[in-house]
């Protein structure tokens, strides 16, 4: 059965009774507010033989701490720009949790000015050290970061749209939780696709496709949709501007990484949501449900039949995604002077 999330499987992981291949996962930004809990949760995923932790500050203490957990595999620490490529070397999955969090009143361009450079640095290093890796960005603004990273990988001659992801799993997690609270049921029984992008009105939960069927009015749907779209601001305000979503983001991202690992391992019917290069709409990058496999994205399930409200919302968000993509590409092209093609063929 196809599930929209793959979000809840972390609670059922049992490495001792699952037969899997071994993979290397590298986390860039492993010492941060998302990176540390993410590293802990990823440590529990079966099939990871090596977990490489990288940050600008020393990660030796974090690696030592995690290495004491009674799970298979080793944990290695890497520090600074000079050790970025060694950290990524041979990785099957690279997860980027580094970057500046969003602050109250911060404009998208301000956030991109800092985090866009980071995306370029990591995508360049991946191209040199692990061109076949699945590259998943948590770093915001996702709607611009992924087009930027794609342009850098294209400049190196190694872009594969099946292997680049913007992690939007938190939108799914929030949708499941908020809907389950509204319906007074367990979130473990809720499945819902979230399409579009990863900011404001570009986040579109398809409540008409919720399983079990949503029991509420059209007004309830609009209120829930708005809360899901603005949930990030809810956390920023709750933290009094001193941070953004970290623990919930780590939970969602670890669940997505587990989906990637299960796909790499050849498991069937692994479906999750992410923001990727896509032809489902006229926006070049779009979040939707994806079937995952041995080389990343295996297939792009078509968009389901949507309600009138959802179709109208989709028409409103597509111009924003197109503009975000153009801005991400333009940002990358300003920084590509020192990047040359890499003569490497992907399998």
The four Cα atoms 226, 113, 245, 224 give a dihedral, to 10 degrees, of 10
Q: Give the CA count within 13 Å in the CB-facing half-sphere of 176.
A: 21
Neighbours of 134 (CB within 10 A): 27
Asked if 54 is an active-site residue, the reply is no
Q: Is 15 in contact with 42 (CB distance < 8 Å)? A: no
Q: What share of the chain is helix, strand, coil (3-state, %, to 5)?
A: 45, 15, 35
| List of long-range contacts for 299-304, beta carbons under 8 Å, 24+ apart | 301/2, 301/271, 303/195, 304/193, 304/206, 304/209
The rounded distance, in Å, linking the Cα atoms of 149 and 120 is 6
CA dist 195 and 272 (Å) reads 11
**Residue of 162, 163, 174, 198 with catalytic role:** 198
Q: Point out the residues that are catalytic.
A: 198
């Amino acid at each position: 059965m196809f599930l929209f999330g793959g979000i809840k499987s972390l609670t059922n992981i049992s490495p001792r009774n699952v037969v899997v291949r071994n993979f290397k996962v590298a986390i860039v930004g492993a010492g941060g507010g998302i990176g540390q809990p993410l590293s802990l949760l990823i440590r529990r995923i079966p099939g990871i033989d090596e977990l490489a932790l990288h940050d600008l500050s020393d990660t030796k203490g974090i690696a030592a701490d995690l290495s004491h957990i009674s799970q298979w595999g080793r944990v290695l620490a890497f520090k600074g720009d000079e050790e970025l490529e060694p950290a990524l070397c041979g990785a099957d999955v690279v997860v980027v949790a580094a970057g500046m969090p969003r602050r109250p009143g911060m404009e998208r361009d301000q956030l991109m000015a800092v985090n866009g450079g980071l995306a370029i640095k990591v995508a360049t290093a991946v191209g040199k050290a692990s061109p076949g890796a699945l590259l998943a960005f948590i770093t915001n603004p996702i709607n611009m970061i992924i087009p930027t990273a794609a342009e850098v990988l294209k400049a190196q001659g190694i872009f594969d749209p099946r292997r680049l992801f913007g992690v939007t799993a938190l939108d799914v997690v929030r949708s499941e939780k908020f809907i389950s609270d509204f319906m007074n049921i367990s979130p473990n029984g809720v499945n819902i696709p979230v399409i579009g992008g990863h900011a404001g009105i570009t986040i579109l939960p398809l409540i008409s496709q919720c399983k079990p069927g949503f029991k509420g009015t059209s007004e309830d749907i609009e209120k829930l949709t708005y809360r899901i779209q603005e949930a990030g601001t809810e956390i920023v305000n709750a933290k009094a501007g001193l941070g953004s979503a970290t623990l919930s983001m780590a939970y969602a991202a670890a669940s997505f990484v587990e989906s990637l690992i299960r796909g790499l391992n050849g498991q069937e019917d692994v479906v999750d949501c992410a923001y990727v290069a896509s032809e489902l709409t006229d926006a070049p990058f779009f979040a939707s449900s994806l079937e995952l496999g041995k080389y990343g994205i295996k297939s792009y399930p078509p968009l389901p039949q949507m309600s009138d409200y959802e179709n109208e919302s989709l028409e409103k968000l597509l111009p924003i995604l197109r503009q975000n993509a153009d801005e991400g590409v333009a940002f990358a092209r300003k920084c590509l002077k020192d990047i040359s093609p890499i003569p490497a063929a992907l399998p």
